[in-house]
């Protein structure tokens, strides 16, 4: 699955029950929100069968793209994972 693929690329500690990004309920996603399904480098955003956008933030690389685009408009809430959780990048 998606999360397992991310775990292969980087070590990722899931803070169970405390997702650090949440999408506000919506009927029709904005262009920017919909675009995240293609732009997020971690593939966290996906379009549902009914046309909304959902997120599984496990595997998020904390690149900040969605935060810059969608936090100011209130479409998402975004916070860094608590210390000790989230992505631990592999160097070398
Ligand atoms: Fe994807 Fe970057 Fe947003 Fe994380 S911060 S969900 S990697 S766009």
In the chain, the domains with their CATH numbers are 2-84 (3.30.70.20)
Quote the pLDDT of residue 43.
Answer: 96
Ligand 1 centroid from CA 34, angstroms: 13
- Summarised one tens digit per residue, pLDDT across range 17-70 is 666 899 999 999 999 999 999 999 999 999 999 999 999 988 899 899 999 999
Minimum mean pLDDT range among 1-5, 67-71, 81-85: 1-5
The H or E element spanning position 66 is helix 65-70
Distance 68 CA to ligand 1 centre (A): 10
Q: Assess whether pLDDT exceeds 80 at residue 2.
A: no
End-to-end CA distance of the chain: 25
DSSP element (H, E) containing 35: helix 31-39
Cα 1 to Cα 38: distance, rounded to the nearest angstrom: 18
b/e per residue, 21-43, with b = 16+ CB within 10 A?
A: bebeeeeebeeebbbbbeebebe
* Ligand 1 binding site (Cβ under 6 Å of any ligand atom): 21, 40-42, 44, 57, 60-67
Mutate to test the pocket of ligand 1, among 32, 37, 66 (most ligand atoms within 8 A of CB): 66
């Amino acid at each position: 699955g998606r999360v397992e693929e991310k775990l292969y690329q980087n070590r990722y500690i899931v803070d169970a029950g405390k997702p650090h990004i949440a999408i506000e309920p919506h009927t029709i996603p904005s262009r920017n929100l919909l675009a995240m399904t293609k732009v997020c480098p971690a593939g966290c955003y996906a379009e549902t069968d009914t046309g909304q956008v959902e997120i599984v933030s496990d595997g998020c690389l904390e690149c900040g793209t969605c935060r810059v685009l969608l936090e100011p408009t209130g479409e998402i809430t975004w916070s860094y994972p608590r210390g000790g959780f989230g992505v631990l990048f592999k160097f070398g």
